[in-house]
Amino acid sequence: MSELSKEKLLEAYRMMRTIRDFEERVHDEFAKGGIPGFVHLYAGEEASATGICMHLTDQDRIVSTHRGHGHCIAKGVDVIGMMAEIYGKQTGTCHGKGGSMHIADLDKGMLGANGIVGGGPPLICGVGLTHKMRGTDGVGIAFFGDGASNQGTTLESMNLATVWNLPCIFVVENNGYAEATSSEWAVSCDNYADRAAGFGMPGTTVDGHDFFAVYETAGEAIARARAGGGPSLVEVKLNRYFGHFEGDAQTYRRADEVKQLREEKDCLKIFRKRVVDANLLEHSDLDKIDEEVAALIDEAVQQAEAASPPAVEELLTHVYVNY
């Protein structure tokens, strides 16, 4: 981990803080009725997207899920455009016609959040095949959850990636619940990394509350894929702070579950303590980022609220793309 310079540590904290503040703010604004449609929030899972995407460049592609805001931010998608997109405004990343579950920015290698559970893994095989045929050292990352881990599309994709030895990493973000169903009830092979062996790829499990653990593990999986080592599976065990969707009463969770997680397992708190205790960063360095991110999110909301929705005559544009 000695390769994590002070600048990199600051970058990691800024990324995680931006995701957290973005999601907390969307939570608040959605409750006020300012945001149309559904939103699924990533708060609590920041170390996963950050620890993985910090290894990527724009040529590397990711596919995400319905809970995709964190992945977008970690992949470098503009926060101002994202907020406007969630508000359904013309200035949004997808001109306000995608919304929360379909934010995409191909220039940044973000192939899209995806409303279909298990919809991302097949796409990442296409990414892997492209990189392989073009002879680049690019990789593809498919983020999906414990619910999608049971989908045939996911399992078929893992098989295909192995058969073709594609530079793909399958990242199971296991937050313990597929909507309201505990993974303890719904995943036959509760240690998801076990499934990797069935497809002939290595599988490993990592603590998703610890940025450093995720960063190290992702670094090795990605380096392996870049070097032609083929696909691998990383199970990131983590927790979400909000419901499956905004408005979810979460009757399936213990009353104090999230409170306890926020106190004991918060990735931002853990990160701050570690870097300050190690005398690598000062509290003031991190406080400054907190202030800057808060201002950025304020600005994003203000711009989103002020922007116009797409014009009626724009509704059928941007549906198909010619290559």
Partner 1 sequence: MNPIPESTSVGIIANPYSSRDIRRLVSSASSIQTVERANIVERILVTLATFGIDKAIMMPDKSGLAAQLIRNLESRSHLNRAASVDLEFLDIPITSTVTDTLIAGRIFRERNVGAVIVLGGDGTHRAVARYIGDIPMVSISTGTNNAFPRFHEATLAGLALGIYLKGLVNTESMVRRNKVIRVTVNNNIEDLALVDLAITSDRWVGARAVWKMENLKELYLAFCEPAAIGMSSIGGLLDPVSRKEMSGLKVLMADPVECPMTLNAPVAPGLFHEIGILDSSRIEIGVDYEIESAHGVLALDGEREIEFSAKDEVIVRLEDDGPVTLDVEATIESAARSGVFVNHRTAGRSGEHKFRMPESLCFG
Q: Using CB under 8 A, list all residues that contact partner 1.
A: 1-2, 4, 184, 187-191, 193-194, 196-197, 202-206, 210, 212-213, 215-217, 220-221, 224, 232, 237, 274, 277-280
Which residue lies nearer to partner 1 by CB, 58 or 194?
A: 194
Q: Specify whether the CB–CB gap between 13 and 272 falls below 8 A.
A: yes
Which residue lies nearer to partner 1 by CB, 184 or 299?
A: 184
Which residue lies nearer to partner 1 by CB, 207 or 290?
A: 207
* Least Cβ distance, residue 152 to partner 1 (angstroms): 21
Which residue lies nearer to partner 1 by CB, 35 or 281?
A: 281
One-letter-per-residue 3-state SS of the chain = CCCCCHHHHHHHHHHHHHHHHHHHHHHHHHHHCCCCCCCCCCCCCHHHHHHHHCCCCCCCEEECCCCCHHHHHHCCCCHHHHHHHHCCCCCCCCCCCCCHHHCCEHHHCECCCCCCCCCHHHHHHHHHHHHHHHCCCCCEEEEEECCHHHCHHHHHHHHHHHHCCCCEEEEEEECCEECCEEHHHHCCCCCCHHHHHHCCCCEEEEECCCHHHHHHHHHHHHHHHHCCCCCEEEEEECCCCCCCCCCCCCCCCCCCHHHHHHHHCCHHHHHHHHHHHCCCCCHHHHHHHHHHHHHHHHHHHHHHHHCCCCCHHHCCCCCCCCC
* Least Cβ distance, residue 204 to partner 1 (angstroms): 5
* Least Cβ distance, residue 209 to partner 1 (angstroms): 11
* Least Cβ distance, residue 307 to partner 1 (angstroms): 42
Name the burial class of residue 262, with classes exposed (0-12), middle (13-18) and buried (19+) by CB atoms within 10 angstroms of its CB: middle
* Least Cβ distance, residue 266 to partner 1 (angstroms): 16
Coil/strand/helix, residue 94: coil
* Least Cβ distance, residue 147 to partner 1 (angstroms): 17
Which residue lies nearer to partner 1 by CB, 94 or 193?
A: 193
Q: Which amino acid is at 80?
A: I
Which residue lies nearer to partner 1 by CB, 49 or 206?
A: 206
* Least Cβ distance, residue 141 to partner 1 (angstroms): 14
Tokens in use for 106?
A: 């191909």
Which residue lies nearer to partner 1 by CB, 10 or 294?
A: 10
* Least Cβ distance, residue 258 to partner 1 (angstroms): 17
Which residue lies nearer to partner 1 by CB, 35 or 171?
A: 171
Q: Specify whether the CB–CB gap between 208 and 16 falls below 8 A.
A: no
* Least Cβ distance, residue 157 to partner 1 (angstroms): 19
How many Å apart are CA 204 and CA 281, to the nearest integer?
A: 30
Which residue lies nearer to partner 1 by CB, 182 or 302?
A: 182
